[in-house]
Amino acid sequence: MNTIAVKSSRDKIVVTFDKTEANMNILLKFLERLEVEQNAEKINFSKDILKIAEEIKSTWWQANKKRFLN
């Protein structure tokens, strides 16, 4: 058996993992991330949100980089 198998029907996608080959913690983290991504797609952000996020990240990094690089 393959470690990962994917089957698609009309209304479902079924993903099967070989239990002897898969790490449960990694799979749970993957599923959690997949859920976050799916929920994020449902939100209708404007294009400006990415610009704002980049400004916040840049400002935070300028204020905190000495803590991490020294």
Residue with more model confidence, 23 or 11: 11
Residues 6+ apart with CB under 8 A from 18: 1, 2, 3, 4
Location of structure tokens 């400006």: 48
Residues 6+ apart with CB under 8 A from 16: 4, 5, 6, 7
Structural domain including 12 reads 4-69
| pLDDT 10s digits, 39-64 | 888 887 777 888 899 999 999 999 99
Quote the number of domains for the chain: 1
pLDDT above 70 coverage of the chain, percent:
99
Q: Does residue 22 carry a pLDDT above 70?
A: yes
**Positive or negative torsion for Cα 16, 22, 24, 29:** negative
